[in-house]
Amino acid sequence: MNYHLSDLPERDAKPREKGCTMAMDKGLSIREVEDFIEVAGEYVDLVKLGWATSYVVPNLKRKLEVYRAAGLPVYFGGTLFEAFIIRNQFDEYRRLLDDFGMNIAEVSDGSIELNHDQKCEYIRQLATQVTVLSEVGSKDDQKIIPPYKWISLMQAELDAGSWKVIGEAREGGTVGLFRSTGEVRSGLVEEILTKIPFEKIIWEAPQKEQQVWFIKLLGANVNLGNIAPNEVIPLETIRLGIRGDTFMDFLNLEKIKK
């Protein structure tokens, strides 16, 4: 840090199991990746190449090299997995992961119908090859999943071999964990946390109000995902209670007054 401020919440050092920030690259140039790493590299734990943008970007190989040279784990968005599954190309997807040297993969069913046993079987198979992140929640705002179901889905996916599970929100933060207004389904989150350890969940929270909500509820070291690259520094200040939104939340005023 550039100077001393007392009484800030403690943050784990990398590699972290909690307090992770997963950022989404939806088409950065090589220089933009370098700039992102310069500014936010030490605050980012995972980089997702959003949905299937990796199919069209012309700089994929170099981009992977730049992220890896900086020690940043990078993976393809779950929608790419789904694009292969719906085309009956799971084997091609496994080869793709090898061809590009990926060591993380995301398994999701946000855009397709997938029997949950089948989904867990994909997780089980991929977990022999890479670290698996799996995502719960539909991109379809008409599909409301009740809390007990979120919990059983998450637990089954962790049992099948997922390293962590992701709560779906889309880039815009309007489905899954969120109402179509972007408001957090708070009862849902609280009930999930009675059963699933909080370090096992990455909450997608692309909008600032959502980040603030999770940090107020779960503290500085909650895992948050789908963060825009230029919002990683702002998010870190929200975690530390040095932006207006969480300014009074982590202060021990009694201790300071002594």
CB of 53 to a copy of itself, least distance (A): 5
Q: How many Å apart are CA 239 and CA 252, to the nearest integer?
A: 15
- 26 lines the binding site for a copy of itself (CB under 8 A): yes
CB of 194 to a copy of itself, least distance (A): 30
Phi, psi angles (nearest 5°) of residue 242: -120, 25
- 70 lines the binding site for a copy of itself (CB under 8 A): no
Q: How many Å apart are CA 135 and CA 153, to the nearest integer?
A: 10
Member of 28, 136, 165, 220 binding a copy of itself (CB under 8 A):
28
Q: Give me the 112-151 binding string for a copy of itself, x by CB under 8 A, dash otherwise.
A: x--------------------------x------------
- 56 lines the binding site for a copy of itself (CB under 8 A): yes
- Per CB under 8 A, the segment of 40-48, 125-133, 144-152, 196-204 that binds a copy of itself is 40-48
- 87 lines the binding site for a copy of itself (CB under 8 A): yes
Member of 91, 99, 117, 254 binding a copy of itself (CB under 8 A):
99
- 52 lines the binding site for a copy of itself (CB under 8 A): yes
CB of 232 to a copy of itself, least distance (A): 8
Non-local CB neighbours of 100 within 8 Å, separated by 6+ positions: 60, 61, 64
- 79 lines the binding site for a copy of itself (CB under 8 A): yes
Kindly determine how many residues on this chain lie close enough to bind a copy of itself according to the rule CB under 8 A: 70
- 38 lines the binding site for a copy of itself (CB under 8 A): yes
CB of 197 to a copy of itself, least distance (A): 27
Triad 216, 211, 243: Cα angle to 5°: 70
Whether the bond into 146 is cis, omega within 30 of 0: no
CB of 187 to a copy of itself, least distance (A): 24
- 13 lines the binding site for a copy of itself (CB under 8 A): no
Per CB under 8 A, residues contacting a copy of itself are 1-7, 26-32, 34-36, 38-43, 50-61, 79-80, 82-84, 86-89, 92, 96, 99, 110-112, 139, 170, 172, 208, 230, 232-234, 236-237, 240, 242-244, 247-248, 251, 253, 256-257
